[in-house]
Amino acid sequence: MPHLRFPESDRSDVRGAPARVLSRRFRLQPRGAVFLVLAGAVGIAAAQRGNNLLFVVFSALIGLFLSDAILTLMSARKLDISRILPEMVHGTQPFSVTLRLWNRKRLVPLVRVRIEDRLSQDGRWAALQPPPVIVPYGRPGRKVRSTFSVSVHQRGWARFGPVTVTSEFPPGLVACRVTLDIQDQVLVLPRPGVISRSPQTSLAGRLAAVRSLRDLASTGDEFAGVREYRPGDNLRRIHWRTSARLPQRLFVRELEDTHVREAIVILDTFLPNPGDLRGRSRLERAISFAIALTSALLEEGAWVRFRAAFPESTEMALDPSRRMLSDLERALALIAPSLSPVVSDLLALSSPNPEAFTFVLLAGDAPPALPERGVTIPADEMRRIMFYAS
Amino acid sequence: MSPVFAAPSREGRSVTPVSADRRARLAMYLALLCGYIAGMGTDPLASYQLAAYLGACLWSLLLEHRVRRAFFSPHVKIGLIIAGSVLFITLVSRSAPPQEDFAGTIGRFLFWNAIVFVLSRSKSEYDLWTLGIIDVSLFMISAAFFQPTEFLPLFGLSCALLLYSFMRAAMVSAGPAETRQPSGAAPALVQLALMALLAASVFVLFPRGAFTAAPSDAAAARGTPGGVAVPPDVPPEPPPRLRTGFSARADRLDLADLATIVHDPQPAFELQAMAEGPEPAFRSGDAVYLRGWIFDVYREGSWTSEPGFRKIADADDKAEDEWVEFPVPRPPWGFVRQNLVALIDMPEVVPAIAEPMRIRGTEYRIDPRGMILAPAPALKGTQYEILSAYIPHDASQMLPPSAAPAPMPPHLTELPPELERVRNLAAEITEGRTTMRERIEAIRSWLTDPARFRYLTVGFETPLGVDRIEHFLLVQRRGYCMHFATAMALLARACGIPARFAAGFHASKPIRNPDGSRGVYVFRLADAHAWAEIAVDGVGWISIDATPPASLVREATSEDAPPSAPEEASTPTATEVSEGAPAKAKRWDHWIVDFNPMLQSDAARRVFGTFRRALDAALSPRAWILLLSTLAAGAAVYALLPTPQRSRVRQLLSGFRDRSSVDFYQHYLWLAARRVPRKPAGWTGREYADLARRALPADAVEWITEKFYAVRYGGATLDAADRAVIDGMLRKIEAASGKNE
C-alpha cells in the first residue's frame, strides 16, 4: 500500500543521546519539616543551657538533615532513562512498559527512587495514568529495569513522557524531583470487536454464505499440493501416499480455489460534528466492528476489499492469508472522522467482482438516512448490500 | 507516599517487609540500646529494664520472623503506651522529683515505649521512626543530665546503626516483598561520614556566643562578662590582673572572669615556715594554704566584700622595727612563723597562713577579716615576716561534735533569694544530719564525689538568667576550685553556717633539700587555689577545701622540683594536672563538654588558618612549577604512547565507553543493519559487546558511534568505504570470537 504511510515510533530505548532535564525541584518532605522543628528545639535548648552535649545532638540532627539533602541532590543528578515499548498495542488491552533507569554517577547509588511516567493522547493527559514505579536500589554506573502494566482505551498515538524521577535518600527528609524529557509513542490499534455468530442475525447468514463458498472451494478440482493435517480437515482429502511415506503424520491434499469469494467492507466515517461525543463513540464502535468483520471474513477464506476515507477514498485489498490485516489495523488506528458524506464515493469505486457481498458500516445513522447522504442504490444491487449502523 | 508491600504469612496474616527483614530491626534495636546505656545514669532499675529489653529484642528477632507473629497487636500496643503515659504522669505529678530523678523517669518511660514497639506486630517504617525518636530523646536526656564520658562513641555508633536501619528499611519497603536487596551498609557509611563532617562543622561554627549572657555596660567596661552592679567606690578603670586570674585589687572576684586556667609554672613565693607555741602546731611537711583574698558577699556570680567590712584599717604605728598587730581570735593550735619572699612582682595583697596575727613592717593595712594589704605592690625580692595563729587545713575534722556556728552578721549566712534551688539542694544533701560538723562533712563529701563532680581547668558558659553556681551545681557539675569553693560556701550558708570564700595559694609539701631535709615551700602561679571558710564558735574561721582531691596531684609532685629552675621541672601540664583521668577523657572534656566560644573561635581560627596556609601553598610559584612540570611530563608520555594505548587513555580520562559495551552493541546492530547478529550461540549481548570492544581498537568504537549518530539522526548515509570498514570490523570480531571459543 504505497499510498498509506505510517509514522515510525520514536523509541527512546535505541536513542543514544541522554535525556534532557526539563526541571529539577527540591522539596522539603513533611517528615523533614517536623525533623527540622525538633532539631531547632534541641538547638535552642542547647544554646539556652550552654550544654555542649546537647549541641552535639543538635549538630548531629542538622548534619543528618544536610547530608540527606546533599545525597538526595547528588543522587538526582546524572540520571538517564529510556523506555521500552511495544510497537503497537490494541486498545483496552494491558501491555507492559519497561523503564530503564541509568545511574550515570560513579559513586552515589540510588536508593528508593520513584519514577512516574505520564501518558497523553491528542494533546491531553490520559485519565488513567501509569502507576508509579519504585526502584529500591541502583548501583553507581548501572542500569535498573522496572516494568509496569498499562492499558490505553483510545486508538491513535499514545504518547509517554515526560518522566519524573523523585529521589528520596533515606531517611527521606527531602525529595528532589527531576523531570526528564523522554518522549515515546506507541500506536494504539482499535480495540477488536466481537462478531455475534447467532444464526438469527443477518450478518451470520452472510458469513454462512461465504463459508459455503469456501467449502465449495475446498472441493475444487485443481491439485495444488499437500500439507500436514489439521483438525477439522475433510478426511476425504487425506493424501495417503504421502502419509504412508512419513509415519506418525497425516497429510492432506490442497486444492486450488478456482472460485471467487470476495466481500467488500465499506466503513463510513461521516461525522458532521466532530465534537459530538456520541457520534465519536459510534464511530469507534464502527471501526471495531469493521476490523472484527474483516477478520471474520478473512477467516472464512474470503478476499476482502476494505474501503474507507483515509482521508481520500481508498481501497485496501486483503487476501485470506491475513498478512495485511495488521496494516489495516494501523490504518484504522489513525483514521479520522470525515466531515463530508463518503459512502456514495466508496460505493461507486469499481469492483472487479460484481457478485461480491458488500457490507456497509455506518458510523452514525441507520439505513433510512442514506438518501440524506446522497446514496442511491439500484434495487437489483440491494440484495447484496447490507447496511449496519453502529 | 511510600508503598508498603505485604507478604502473606503462613497463617494468612500479612507481614511488612520491615518485619520480615531482621537486619533493619537488629540495627535499630542496637541503636536504641546505645541510647539507653548513655541515658540511664544511675538508674537502679537499669538491670531489670535491660533484661526486659533484651528479651523483647530476642523475641522480635528470632520468633517473630519465624512464626510471623509478634507479641502485641497494634491495639494492645496503643493501650500499653497509654497505660505507661498515665503511670508516668501520675508519678511525676505526685512528687516533684529532683532533676536527675525526673530525667530518669522520662528515660524509663521512653524505654517502656521502646519495649512495647519492639514487641508489637508487623513493624513498618513508622515504627522505626518512632524508635529513632525515642533513641534521640534518650541521648538528649543523657546530654542534659548524665553526660557520661562514653557519650560520643555511643552516639556515633547509634547514629551509624540508625542510618543503616533506615537505609535498609527504605530499600526493603520499596521493593517487592521477600526480594533480596543489597545490604545498604556502604551508602549508610557514606552518609555517616558526610553527616559526621557536617555535624562537626556545625558544632564548631555554630555562633553559640550569641546566645550567652551579654555583658552589662559596667561589666563591659571592666572587660568581664556577667552583669554585676558595681559599687560606686570601685574605680572605673580595669583592675590589673594576675596570671592566676585573681584581681590585684582584692575587692571583687567574678567567677566568669576565668574561662580557662593556664598552667603557669612561674614561682611566685618562697615560704619558710616554723612552728611556735604548744602542740598541736604546724609541722614542716604539712600542706600549706597561703591565704590572700577573702570575699564574703556573693551576688550573681561574683564575690565582693561587704561594705561595712571593707573598711581598711591603717595599722601603721610609725615604728620602723615594730610589728603590725591584727585583732584576730586566737585558735588553740599554736603559732607559725613565716618568712615569705616574693619571687615576682606582686599586688598589694600579701598572702599568709591563716590566721595572720602580725607582720613586720610599716604602712601595712589590715582588713579585720584577715587580709594583709601592703602599702604598694611588692617588687620581686620583697620579704615579709609574718606570725600567724595556726589553723590546720583539716581543722573541721578536729572539731568536737558539739561545735556550733559562730554568731556572725546575717550577710554571711543568707543566700540570695534567687538561689532557692541551691537551698533545696542543701536541705536534700544534709537531710538527717543534725550537727554542724556532720553537715559540713556531708556537703564536702557530696561535692568531692568523683561520680557526681569533676574537676576541669576550663570554665563554662551560663545560660541567660541562671546563676553560675546554680548552673554548676545542678547542670554543669564540672569546674575548678573557685566553683567548688563558692558552692561549698553557699551550701554551708544554706544550712545556716556562716561561710565565706578564700583564695590564695596551696602547696601540699615543701621541696626536699639535697641533704634530705624538708626545705622551703615554693608556690607557683599555677598553685593558685580557692577554698571556703566557715566560722566556728570559739575557734574562728577554719578552711574547708571542697575541690576534688584529684585536682591537687600537681602539688604532690612539686616537691622534687628545684626552686631555682622551676621551668625545667617535669611537672605535668595544667590539663594533665587537673585530672587523673586518661587523656581520652581529657580530650573529651576539653573539646566537647567544655567547648566554649573562646575555644570555638580558636578552633575556627585554626581551621581558617589551615585553609589559608593551604591556599598560600597552592598559589606559591613552587606549586605552579610542580603542577606545570607534572602536566608537561604527562603530555610527553601521552605523545610517546602508541595509538591504541593513547585512545585508551582518552577513554579513561573522559570516562567514555567504559560502561557502554551494551550501547556499543546496540548501536552496532543499528548501524550494520541486520548483518551483525553473528553472535556466537550462548553468548549474551554484553559478552559479545565486550568481545567486540576487545577485538577492535578503541578509536574504532568512537568512529562507529559517531557514524551511528550521523546516520541515525544526521541524515547521513553509509558509502562503500564505510561498509568496507564495518565489514572489516565484523571479520575481526568473528576472528576474536573463534579464538575465544
Q: What is the DSSP string of B595-624?
A: --HHHHHHHHHHHHHHHHHHHHHHHSHHHH
Contacts of A170 in chain B (CB under 8 A): 163, 166-167, 169-170
Q: Among partner residues B132, B182, B199, which is closest to A59 by beta-carbon distance?
A: B199
Residue B579 has pLDDT above 90, yes or no: no
Cβ-contact A36, A29 below 8 angstroms: no
Nearest chain A alpha carbon to B171: A136
The reply to whether residue A170 touches residue B147, judged by beta carbons under 8 angstroms, is no
Q: Among partner residues A14, A106, A170, which is closest to B170 by beta-carbon distance?
A: A170
Residue A195 has pLDDT above 80, yes or no: no
Residue B27 is predicted with a pLDDT of 93
* Pairwise CA distance, residues B59 & B26, whole Å: 11
Residue B161 has pLDDT above 50, yes or no: yes
Which span out of A58-67, A196-205, B33-42, B299-308 was modeled with the highest average pLDDT? Answer: A58-67
Residue A71 is predicted with a pLDDT of 92
The reply to whether residue B198 touches residue A52, judged by beta carbons under 8 angstroms, is no
Question: Half-sphere exposure of residue B334, counting CA atoms within 13 Å on the CB side?
Answer: 14
Biggest alpha carbon–alpha carbon distance for chain A: 109
Contacts of B196 in chain A (CB under 8 A): 63
> Is A4 a domain residue?
no
DSSP B11: T
Please indicate if any CB of chain A lies within 8 Å of the CB of B229: no
Residue A66 is predicted with a pLDDT of 94
Please indicate if any CB of chain A lies within 8 Å of the CB of B708: yes
Please indicate if any CB of chain B lies within 8 Å of the CB of A173: no
Which span out of A305-319, B187-201, B256-270, B609-623 was modeled with the highest average pLDDT? Answer: B187-201
Choice among B179-193, B465-479, B496-510, B717-731 with the minimum mean pLDDT: B717-731
The reply to whether residue A172 touches residue B129, judged by beta carbons under 8 angstroms, is no
Residue A353 is predicted with a pLDDT of 67
> Is A197 a domain residue?
no
Q: Within this chain, do residues A231 and A148 fall inside the same structural domain, yes or no?
A: no
B660 confidence band (pLDDT: 50, 70, 90): very low
Over residues B401-412, mean pLDDT: 83
pLDDT digits (tens, 9 = 90+) for B225-239: 333 333 334 344 444
Over residues A326-347, mean pLDDT: 82
Q: Is the peptide bond between B355 and the residue preceding it cis, with omega within 30 degrees of 0?
A: yes
Choice among B370-374, B538-542, B629-633, B734-738 with the minimum mean pLDDT: B734-738
Residue A379 has pLDDT above 50, yes or no: yes
Distance from CA of A74 to the nearest CA of B (A): 12
The reply to whether residue B206 touches residue A59, judged by beta carbons under 8 angstroms, is yes
Cβ-contact A357, A386 below 8 angstroms: yes
Choice among B160-169, B259-268, B332-341, B438-447 with the minimum mean pLDDT: B259-268
Which span out of A270-279, B195-204, B373-382 was modeled with the highest average pLDDT? Answer: B195-204
Helices (H), B655-684: 661-672
Range of the domain at A92: 12-189
> Is A139 a domain residue?
yes
Sign of CA dihedral B436, B438, B439, B440: positive
Q: Within this chain, do residues A142 and A22 fall inside the same structural domain, yes or no?
A: yes
* Pairwise CA distance, residues B234 & A190, whole Å: 101
Report how many domains make up chain A.
Answer: 3
DSSP B504: E
The reply to whether residue A171 touches residue B129, judged by beta carbons under 8 angstroms, is yes
> Is A168 a domain residue?
yes
**Residue A137's domain is classified under what CATH number?**
2.60.40.10
* Strand residues in chain A grouped as ranges (E): 20-28, 79-84, 88-90, 95-103, 110-116, 119-121, 124-125, 133-138, 143-150, 156-160, 163-167, 174-181, 184-189, 222-228, 251-256, 262-268, 303-309, 313-318, 357-362, 385-389
Query: Taking the CB of residue A265, how many other CB atoms lie within 10 A of it?
Result: 25
Distance from CA of A137 to the nearest CA of B (A): 6
Residue A359 is predicted with a pLDDT of 74
- Under DSSP, is residue B213 helix (H, G, I), strand (E, B) or coil? coil
Cβ-contact B386, B354 below 8 angstroms: no
Nearest chain B alpha carbon to A14: B666
- Under DSSP, is residue A231 helix (H, G, I), strand (E, B) or coil? coil
The reply to whether residue B159 touches residue A54, judged by beta carbons under 8 angstroms, is no
> Is A23 a domain residue?
yes
Distance from CA of B140 to the nearest CA of A (A): 6
pLDDT digits (tens, 9 = 90+) for A234-253: 888 888 888 888 878 888 88
Q: Within this chain, do residues A168 and A233 fall inside the same structural domain, yes or no?
A: no
* Pairwise CA distance, residues B511 & B560, whole Å: 6
* Strand residues in A161-302 grouped as ranges (E): 163-167, 174-181, 184-189, 222-228, 251-256, 262-268
Choice among A180-194, B589-603, B649-663 with the minimum mean pLDDT: B649-663
Over residues B164-173, mean pLDDT: 88
> Is A196 a domain residue?
no
* Pairwise CA distance, residues A187 & A185, whole Å: 7
The reply to whether residue A71 touches residue B175, judged by beta carbons under 8 angstroms, is no
The reply to whether residue A55 touches residue B197, judged by beta carbons under 8 angstroms, is no
Which span out of B63-67, B182-186, B691-695 was modeled with the highest average pLDDT? Answer: B182-186
Helices (H), B360-412: 395-398
Q: B192-214: buried (b, 16+ CB within 10 Å) or exposed (e) per residue?
A: bebbbebbeebbbebebeebbbe
The reply to whether residue A170 touches residue B169, judged by beta carbons under 8 angstroms, is yes
Contacts of B172 in chain A (CB under 8 A): 136
Q: Within this chain, do residues A32 and A173 fall inside the same structural domain, yes or no?
A: yes
Letter for the amino acid at A8? E
Residue B48 has pLDDT above 70, yes or no: yes
Domain boundaries, chain B: 7-205, 656-740
What was the ipTM of the complex prediction? Answer: 0.72
Q: Within this chain, do residues A274 and A334 fall inside the same structural domain, yes or no?
A: yes
- What the block records as the C-alpha cell of B286 is 604539712
* Pairwise CA distance, residues B402 & B406, whole Å: 12
Over residues B63-92, mean pLDDT: 74
Please indicate if any CB of chain B lies within 8 Å of the CB of A36: no
pLDDT digits (tens, 9 = 90+) for A50-63: 778 888 899 999 99
Q: Within this chain, do residues A305 and A244 fall inside the same structural domain, yes or no?
A: no
The reply to whether residue B167 touches residue A139, judged by beta carbons under 8 angstroms, is no
Residue A10 has pLDDT above 50, yes or no: no
- Percent composition of chain B: helix, strand, coil (DSSP 3-state, to 5): 50, 15, 35
Please indicate if any CB of chain A lies within 8 Å of the CB of B673: no
CA dihedral B12, B17, B22, B24 (to 10 degrees): -160
Chain A residues 127-146 within an 8 A CB cutoff of chain B? 134-137, 139, 141-142
Q: Among partner residues B194, B199, B712, which is closest to A71 by beta-carbon distance?
A: B194
- What the block records as the C-alpha cell of B625 is 612549577
Cβ-contact A177, A116 below 8 angstroms: no
Q: Within this chain, do residues A53 and A138 fall inside the same structural domain, yes or no?
A: yes
Residue B117 has pLDDT above 80, yes or no: yes
Q: Within this chain, do residues A242 and A266 fall inside the same structural domain, yes or no?
A: no
Name the pTM for this structure: 0.57
Chain B residues 155-174 within an 8 A CB cutoff of chain A? 155, 159, 163, 166-167, 169-174
CA dihedral B70, B71, B73, B76 (to 10 degrees): -160
A365 confidence band (pLDDT: 50, 70, 90): low
Q: Within this chain, do residues A252 and A316 fall inside the same structural domain, yes or no?
A: no
The per-residue pLDDT of chain A, averaged, comes to 79
Residue B164 is predicted with a pLDDT of 94
Nearest by Cα to A282 from A297, A298, A267 = A267
Computed over its alpha carbons, how large is the radius of gyration of chain A? Answer: 31
Cβ-contact B651, B657 below 8 angstroms: yes
* Pairwise CA distance, residues B460 & B636, whole Å: 61
Nearest by Cα to B492 from B453, B436, B537 = B436
Q: Among partner residues A54, A64, A134, which is closest to B143 by beta-carbon distance?
A: A54
* Pairwise CA distance, residues A78 & A74, whole Å: 8
Q: Among partner residues B181, B191, B663, which is closest to A67 by beta-carbon distance?
A: B191
Choice among A199-213, A242-256, B109-123 with the minimum mean pLDDT: A199-213
Q: Within this chain, do residues A249 and A322 fall inside the same structural domain, yes or no?
A: no
B77 confidence band (pLDDT: 50, 70, 90): confident
B195 confidence band (pLDDT: 50, 70, 90): very high
Q: Within this chain, do residues A312 and A360 fall inside the same structural domain, yes or no?
A: yes
Chain A residues 239-298 within an 8 A CB cutoff of chain B? none
Please indicate if any CB of chain A lies within 8 Å of the CB of B86: no
Q: Within this chain, do residues A128 and A149 fall inside the same structural domain, yes or no?
A: yes
Choice among A10-14, B264-268, B441-445, B473-477 with the minimum mean pLDDT: A10-14
Please indicate if any CB of chain A lies within 8 Å of the CB of B197: yes
> Is A1 a domain residue?
no
Residue B109 is predicted with a pLDDT of 86
The reply to whether residue B171 touches residue A137, judged by beta carbons under 8 angstroms, is yes
- Under DSSP, is residue B540 helix (H, G, I), strand (E, B) or coil? strand
* Strand residues in B361-485 grouped as ranges (E): 365-366, 372-373, 383-389, 454-455, 478-479
Which of A27, A36, A44, A49 should we substitute to test contact with B (largest number of B Cβ atoms within 10 Å)?
A: A49
Which span out of A138-147, B333-342, B487-496 was modeled with the highest average pLDDT? Answer: B487-496
Distance from CA of B123 to the nearest CA of A (A): 16
Residue B29 has pLDDT above 90, yes or no: yes
Residue B205 is predicted with a pLDDT of 80
Residue B292 is predicted with a pLDDT of 84
Residue B105 has pLDDT above 90, yes or no: no
Please indicate if any CB of chain B lies within 8 Å of the CB of A64: yes
- List own/partner pairs for A42-45 with CB under 8 A and 24 or more apart: A42/B140, A43/B206, A45/B140, A45/B144
> Is A6 a domain residue?
no
At B603, give phi and psi (nearest 5°): -65, -40
